[in-house]
Amino acid sequence: MQTSRQLPESKHFRLEQVAEGVYAVIHIAGGAAIGNAGIIDLGGRTLVYDSLFTPQAGADLRTAAEVVTGRPVDMLINSHWHNDHIWGNQSFGAETDIISDEETRRKIIATRGHGAYDTFMAQARANLETTRAAYEAEQDEGQRRQLALWVDYHQAVVNLKPILKIRAPNLTFVDRLAFHGTDRSAELITYAGGHTESDAVLLLPHERIAFMSDLLFIEHQPYLGGGDPDRMLHILDQVAELNPMILVPGHGPVGTAASVEAMGHYVRTLDGLARQMVADGEPEASIDHMPVPAPYEDWLFAAFFPVNMHFLYQRQQRRQQSVVG
Protein backbone atom coordinates (compact mmCIF):
# COMPACT_ATOMS: atom_id res chain seq x y z
CA MET A 1 0.00 0.00 0.00
CA GLN A 2 1.36 3.37 -1.01
CA THR A 3 2.22 5.67 1.92
CA SER A 4 1.73 9.43 2.09
CA ARG A 5 5.54 9.91 1.84
CA GLN A 6 5.45 8.44 -1.66
CA LEU A 7 2.58 10.52 -2.98
CA PRO A 8 3.18 13.26 -5.55
CA GLU A 9 3.47 16.77 -4.16
CA SER A 10 2.01 20.04 -5.47
CA LYS A 11 2.07 23.63 -4.24
CA HIS A 12 -1.68 23.70 -4.92
CA PHE A 13 -2.94 20.64 -3.02
CA ARG A 14 -2.05 17.62 -0.96
CA LEU A 15 -3.07 14.04 -1.66
CA GLU A 16 -4.72 11.99 1.08
CA GLN A 17 -5.16 8.29 0.45
CA VAL A 18 -8.61 7.37 1.76
CA ALA A 19 -8.59 3.77 0.48
CA GLU A 20 -6.35 1.61 -1.68
CA GLY A 21 -6.34 3.35 -5.08
CA VAL A 22 -8.59 6.23 -3.90
CA TYR A 23 -7.25 9.70 -3.14
CA ALA A 24 -8.74 12.93 -1.86
CA VAL A 25 -7.13 16.00 -3.40
CA ILE A 26 -7.26 18.78 -0.79
CA HIS A 27 -6.49 22.46 -1.40
CA ILE A 28 -3.60 23.88 0.63
CA ALA A 29 -3.07 27.47 1.73
CA GLY A 30 -1.15 29.51 -0.83
CA GLY A 31 -2.20 27.24 -3.69
CA ALA A 32 -4.55 27.75 -6.61
CA ALA A 33 -6.66 24.60 -6.27
CA ILE A 34 -9.21 26.50 -4.10
CA GLY A 35 -11.59 23.52 -4.20
CA ASN A 36 -10.98 19.82 -3.69
CA ALA A 37 -10.97 16.91 -6.14
CA GLY A 38 -10.58 13.14 -6.22
CA ILE A 39 -8.54 10.45 -7.98
CA ILE A 40 -10.01 6.96 -8.28
CA ASP A 41 -8.21 3.94 -9.72
CA LEU A 42 -11.10 1.76 -10.89
CA GLY A 43 -8.70 -0.94 -12.04
CA GLY A 44 -7.70 -0.58 -15.67
CA ARG A 45 -9.35 2.86 -15.81
CA THR A 46 -8.51 6.15 -14.07
CA LEU A 47 -11.26 8.50 -12.96
CA VAL A 48 -10.79 12.06 -11.68
CA TYR A 49 -13.55 13.95 -9.88
CA ASP A 50 -13.43 17.71 -10.53
CA SER A 51 -10.47 19.55 -12.04
CA LEU A 52 -9.80 22.38 -9.53
CA PHE A 53 -9.80 26.15 -10.07
CA THR A 54 -6.93 26.82 -12.46
CA PRO A 55 -5.18 25.19 -15.41
CA GLN A 56 -1.99 25.24 -13.33
CA ALA A 57 -3.59 23.26 -10.48
CA GLY A 58 -5.34 21.07 -13.04
CA ALA A 59 -2.01 20.20 -14.66
CA ASP A 60 -0.61 19.08 -11.30
CA LEU A 61 -3.79 17.08 -10.69
CA ARG A 62 -3.43 15.30 -14.01
CA THR A 63 0.22 14.50 -13.26
CA ALA A 64 -0.63 13.24 -9.79
CA ALA A 65 -3.35 10.97 -11.17
CA GLU A 66 -0.98 9.54 -13.78
CA VAL A 67 1.69 8.90 -11.16
CA VAL A 68 -0.49 7.16 -8.56
CA THR A 69 -2.39 5.04 -11.10
CA GLY A 70 0.37 4.51 -13.64
CA ARG A 71 -1.82 5.40 -16.61
CA PRO A 72 -3.44 8.39 -18.34
CA VAL A 73 -6.71 9.80 -17.02
CA ASP A 74 -9.58 8.16 -18.87
CA MET A 75 -12.49 10.15 -17.44
CA LEU A 76 -12.87 13.51 -15.70
CA ILE A 77 -16.12 14.36 -13.91
CA ASN A 78 -17.40 17.91 -13.54
CA SER A 79 -19.62 17.79 -10.45
CA HIS A 80 -21.21 21.18 -11.14
CA TRP A 81 -20.55 24.33 -13.13
CA HIS A 82 -18.83 26.63 -10.60
CA ASN A 83 -15.42 27.82 -11.78
CA ASP A 84 -13.40 26.61 -8.78
CA HIS A 85 -14.20 23.03 -9.78
CA ILE A 86 -13.96 23.08 -13.59
CA TRP A 87 -11.41 25.62 -14.81
CA GLY A 88 -8.69 22.96 -14.69
CA ASN A 89 -10.46 21.04 -17.48
CA GLN A 90 -8.16 22.35 -20.21
CA SER A 91 -5.12 20.72 -18.61
CA PHE A 92 -6.39 17.22 -19.40
CA GLY A 93 -5.58 15.67 -22.75
CA ALA A 94 -7.89 14.91 -25.65
CA GLU A 95 -7.86 11.26 -24.59
CA THR A 96 -9.72 12.20 -21.40
CA ASP A 97 -13.50 12.27 -21.66
CA ILE A 98 -15.11 15.00 -19.56
CA ILE A 99 -18.42 13.93 -18.07
CA SER A 100 -21.26 15.87 -16.47
CA ASP A 101 -25.02 15.85 -16.46
CA GLU A 102 -26.84 17.84 -19.14
CA GLU A 103 -27.61 20.90 -16.99
CA THR A 104 -24.03 21.26 -15.78
CA ARG A 105 -22.73 21.14 -19.35
CA ARG A 106 -25.27 23.76 -20.41
CA LYS A 107 -24.21 26.09 -17.59
CA ILE A 108 -20.49 25.66 -18.35
CA ILE A 109 -21.06 26.54 -22.00
CA ALA A 110 -23.21 29.53 -21.01
CA THR A 111 -20.34 31.13 -19.06
CA ARG A 112 -18.32 31.67 -22.23
CA GLY A 113 -18.84 35.24 -23.40
CA HIS A 114 -21.33 35.91 -20.60
CA GLY A 115 -21.32 39.51 -19.34
CA ALA A 116 -20.83 38.54 -15.70
CA TYR A 117 -17.85 36.37 -16.66
CA ASP A 118 -16.28 39.20 -18.68
CA THR A 119 -16.76 41.66 -15.82
CA PHE A 120 -15.31 39.23 -13.30
CA MET A 121 -12.19 38.72 -15.40
CA ALA A 122 -11.81 42.44 -16.11
CA GLN A 123 -11.83 43.19 -12.39
CA ALA A 124 -9.34 40.48 -11.47
CA ARG A 125 -6.32 42.73 -10.87
CA ALA A 126 -8.33 45.32 -8.93
CA ASN A 127 -9.89 42.61 -6.76
CA LEU A 128 -6.47 41.20 -5.97
CA GLU A 129 -5.00 44.57 -5.03
CA THR A 130 -7.96 45.48 -2.83
CA THR A 131 -7.92 42.14 -1.03
CA ARG A 132 -4.15 42.14 -0.57
CA ALA A 133 -4.26 45.66 0.87
CA ALA A 134 -6.95 44.57 3.34
CA TYR A 135 -4.86 41.54 4.31
CA GLU A 136 -1.73 43.61 4.90
CA ALA A 137 -3.64 46.18 6.97
CA GLU A 138 -5.44 43.60 9.12
CA GLN A 139 -4.01 42.96 12.59
CA ASP A 140 -6.34 40.22 13.77
CA GLU A 141 -4.88 36.79 12.95
CA GLY A 142 -8.29 35.21 12.45
CA GLN A 143 -9.26 37.85 9.91
CA ARG A 144 -5.88 37.58 8.19
CA ARG A 145 -6.49 33.85 7.80
CA GLN A 146 -9.84 34.57 6.19
CA LEU A 147 -8.39 37.19 3.84
CA ALA A 148 -5.40 35.02 2.89
CA LEU A 149 -7.69 32.55 1.17
CA TRP A 150 -9.25 35.31 -0.94
CA VAL A 151 -5.80 36.65 -1.81
CA ASP A 152 -5.01 33.15 -3.12
CA TYR A 153 -8.28 33.13 -5.05
CA HIS A 154 -7.81 36.50 -6.75
CA GLN A 155 -4.11 35.84 -7.43
CA ALA A 156 -5.13 32.61 -9.14
CA VAL A 157 -7.56 34.49 -11.37
CA VAL A 158 -4.87 36.98 -12.38
CA ASN A 159 -2.46 34.13 -13.18
CA LEU A 160 -4.94 32.07 -15.18
CA LYS A 161 -6.51 34.96 -17.09
CA PRO A 162 -4.05 34.93 -20.05
CA ILE A 163 -4.33 31.17 -20.60
CA LEU A 164 -7.84 30.14 -19.58
CA LYS A 165 -9.95 28.22 -22.08
CA ILE A 166 -13.40 27.05 -21.02
CA ARG A 167 -13.53 23.35 -21.94
CA ALA A 168 -16.99 21.84 -21.69
CA PRO A 169 -17.85 18.18 -21.05
CA ASN A 170 -18.13 16.00 -24.15
CA LEU A 171 -20.22 13.25 -22.51
CA THR A 172 -23.40 13.74 -20.50
CA PHE A 173 -25.73 11.56 -18.46
CA VAL A 174 -29.15 11.74 -16.84
CA ASP A 175 -29.68 11.07 -13.11
CA ARG A 176 -27.18 8.22 -12.58
CA LEU A 177 -24.08 6.81 -14.24
CA ALA A 178 -22.13 3.73 -13.14
CA PHE A 179 -18.41 3.09 -13.71
CA HIS A 180 -16.95 -0.42 -13.46
CA GLY A 181 -13.29 -1.40 -13.35
CA THR A 182 -11.47 -4.54 -12.39
CA ASP A 183 -10.88 -3.28 -8.82
CA ARG A 184 -14.03 -1.34 -7.98
CA SER A 185 -17.22 0.28 -9.15
CA ALA A 186 -18.41 3.84 -8.66
CA GLU A 187 -21.74 5.56 -9.18
CA LEU A 188 -22.37 9.16 -10.11
CA ILE A 189 -25.67 10.48 -8.72
CA THR A 190 -27.24 13.82 -9.60
CA TYR A 191 -29.01 15.97 -7.03
CA ALA A 192 -30.83 19.04 -8.32
CA GLY A 193 -31.31 22.39 -6.66
CA GLY A 194 -29.27 22.12 -3.47
CA HIS A 195 -26.12 24.10 -4.23
CA THR A 196 -26.65 24.76 -7.94
CA GLU A 197 -29.12 23.66 -10.57
CA SER A 198 -27.41 20.27 -10.58
CA ASP A 199 -24.67 18.68 -8.46
CA ALA A 200 -23.24 15.20 -8.89
CA VAL A 201 -21.99 13.05 -6.00
CA LEU A 202 -19.57 10.21 -6.73
CA LEU A 203 -20.22 7.20 -4.51
CA LEU A 204 -17.88 4.25 -4.04
CA PRO A 205 -20.38 1.85 -2.44
CA HIS A 206 -17.97 -0.92 -1.42
CA GLU A 207 -15.51 1.47 0.23
CA ARG A 208 -18.37 3.65 1.56
CA ILE A 209 -16.71 6.81 0.27
CA ALA A 210 -18.60 9.79 -1.18
CA PHE A 211 -17.05 12.66 -3.12
CA MET A 212 -19.55 15.44 -2.43
CA SER A 213 -18.08 18.57 -4.04
CA ASP A 214 -20.04 21.63 -2.86
CA LEU A 215 -22.96 19.72 -1.44
CA LEU A 216 -20.64 19.50 1.57
CA PHE A 217 -18.35 22.09 3.13
CA ILE A 218 -16.25 21.18 6.17
CA GLU A 219 -14.82 23.90 8.44
CA HIS A 220 -15.84 26.34 5.70
CA GLN A 221 -19.09 28.29 5.48
CA PRO A 222 -21.05 27.15 2.42
CA TYR A 223 -22.55 29.46 -0.15
CA LEU A 224 -26.33 29.02 -0.01
CA GLY A 225 -27.50 31.62 -2.52
CA GLY A 226 -27.22 29.46 -5.63
CA GLY A 227 -29.78 26.89 -4.54
CA ASP A 228 -32.68 26.07 -2.26
CA PRO A 229 -31.79 25.52 1.43
CA ASP A 230 -34.76 23.19 1.94
CA ARG A 231 -33.62 21.16 -1.03
CA MET A 232 -30.07 21.15 0.33
CA LEU A 233 -31.29 19.67 3.63
CA HIS A 234 -33.26 17.02 1.76
CA ILE A 235 -30.18 16.11 -0.30
CA LEU A 236 -28.03 15.82 2.80
CA ASP A 237 -30.59 13.41 4.24
CA GLN A 238 -30.53 11.40 1.01
CA VAL A 239 -26.73 11.19 1.06
CA ALA A 240 -26.80 10.10 4.71
CA GLU A 241 -29.10 7.25 3.70
CA LEU A 242 -26.35 6.00 1.35
CA ASN A 243 -24.36 5.40 4.55
CA PRO A 244 -20.91 6.67 3.50
CA MET A 245 -18.22 6.58 6.19
CA ILE A 246 -15.68 8.85 4.46
CA LEU A 247 -16.83 12.06 2.77
CA VAL A 248 -14.68 14.36 0.65
CA PRO A 249 -16.12 17.90 0.61
CA GLY A 250 -15.81 20.58 -2.03
CA HIS A 251 -13.89 22.67 0.49
CA GLY A 252 -12.17 21.62 3.70
CA PRO A 253 -10.62 18.43 5.10
CA VAL A 254 -11.87 14.88 4.60
CA GLY A 255 -14.81 14.19 6.90
CA THR A 256 -17.23 11.61 8.22
CA ALA A 257 -20.98 11.17 8.52
CA ALA A 258 -20.89 13.74 11.33
CA SER A 259 -19.78 16.32 8.76
CA VAL A 260 -23.10 15.96 6.94
CA GLU A 261 -24.89 16.60 10.23
CA ALA A 262 -22.76 19.71 10.84
CA MET A 263 -23.57 21.06 7.36
CA GLY A 264 -27.29 20.53 7.97
CA HIS A 265 -27.02 22.22 11.36
CA TYR A 266 -25.42 25.27 9.74
CA VAL A 267 -28.24 25.60 7.21
CA ARG A 268 -30.93 25.19 9.87
CA THR A 269 -29.23 27.63 12.26
CA LEU A 270 -28.96 30.44 9.73
CA ASP A 271 -32.44 29.82 8.37
CA GLY A 272 -33.78 29.95 11.93
CA LEU A 273 -32.02 33.25 12.57
CA ALA A 274 -33.47 34.74 9.37
CA ARG A 275 -36.99 33.53 10.20
CA GLN A 276 -36.77 35.04 13.68
CA MET A 277 -35.52 38.37 12.34
CA VAL A 278 -38.41 38.64 9.90
CA ALA A 279 -40.93 37.58 12.55
CA ASP A 280 -39.58 40.22 14.96
CA GLY A 281 -39.54 42.93 12.30
CA GLU A 282 -35.79 43.34 12.62
CA PRO A 283 -34.35 45.30 9.66
CA GLU A 284 -32.28 43.46 7.10
CA ALA A 285 -29.46 46.01 7.48
CA SER A 286 -28.70 44.62 10.94
CA ILE A 287 -27.30 41.49 9.29
CA ASP A 288 -24.16 43.40 8.36
CA HIS A 289 -23.33 43.85 12.06
CA MET A 290 -24.25 40.35 13.24
CA PRO A 291 -21.50 38.20 14.74
CA VAL A 292 -21.06 34.74 13.26
CA PRO A 293 -22.72 32.32 15.68
CA ALA A 294 -20.87 29.48 17.38
CA PRO A 295 -19.58 27.02 16.35
CA TYR A 296 -19.04 28.65 12.94
CA GLU A 297 -17.03 31.73 13.95
CA ASP A 298 -13.71 30.08 13.06
CA TRP A 299 -14.86 28.50 9.80
CA LEU A 300 -13.25 29.84 6.62
CA PHE A 301 -15.28 31.68 3.98
CA ALA A 302 -16.65 33.93 6.74
CA ALA A 303 -17.59 36.43 4.02
CA PHE A 304 -20.39 34.05 3.03
CA PHE A 305 -22.16 34.48 6.39
CA PRO A 306 -23.74 37.90 5.67
CA VAL A 307 -24.37 36.89 2.07
CA ASN A 308 -26.22 33.78 3.23
CA MET A 309 -28.16 35.71 5.85
CA HIS A 310 -29.33 38.34 3.34
CA PHE A 311 -30.43 35.56 1.00
CA LEU A 312 -32.33 33.72 3.73
CA TYR A 313 -33.87 36.91 5.12
CA GLN A 314 -35.19 37.97 1.71
CA ARG A 315 -36.43 34.44 1.07
CA GLN A 316 -38.36 34.45 4.34
CA GLN A 317 -39.79 37.89 3.60
CA ARG A 318 -41.12 36.65 0.26
CA ARG A 319 -42.67 33.66 2.00
CA GLN A 320 -44.33 35.83 4.60
CA GLN A 321 -45.65 38.23 1.97
CA SER A 322 -47.09 35.36 -0.08
CA VAL A 323 -48.95 34.10 3.00
CA VAL A 324 -50.32 37.57 3.77
CA GLY A 325 -51.22 38.13 0.13
The mean pLDDT of 129-144, rounded to a whole number, is: 96
190 burial (CB, 10 Å; 0-12 / 13-18 / 19+) is buried
Ordered by start, the domain boundaries in the chain are: 4-112+166-324, 115-160
pLDDT for 3:
45
Which has more pLDDT, 4 or 141? 141
Confidence of residue 324 (pLDDT cuts 50, 70, 90): low
Task: Read off the pLDDT of residues 20-30 as tens digits, 9 standing for 90 and up.
Answer: 999 999 999 99
Rg value, the chain, Cα: 20
CA–CA dist 161, 119 (Å, integer): 12
Secondary structure (DSSP) of 147-178:
HHHHHHHHHHHHHHTTT------SEEESSEEE
Q: pTM for the full model?
A: 0.95
| Res. 253: pLDDT tops 50 | yes
User: Helix (H, G, I), strand (E, B), or coil: what is residue 226?
Assistant: coil
Residue pair 186/43 in contact (Cβ under 8 Å)? The answer is: no
The per-residue pLDDT for 116 is: 76
pLDDT (tens digit, 9 = 90+) per residue, 274-290? Answer: 999 999 999 999 999 99
pLDDT of residue 113: 63
Domain 4-112+166-324 class? alpha beta
Q: What is the mean pLDDT of the chain?
A: 95
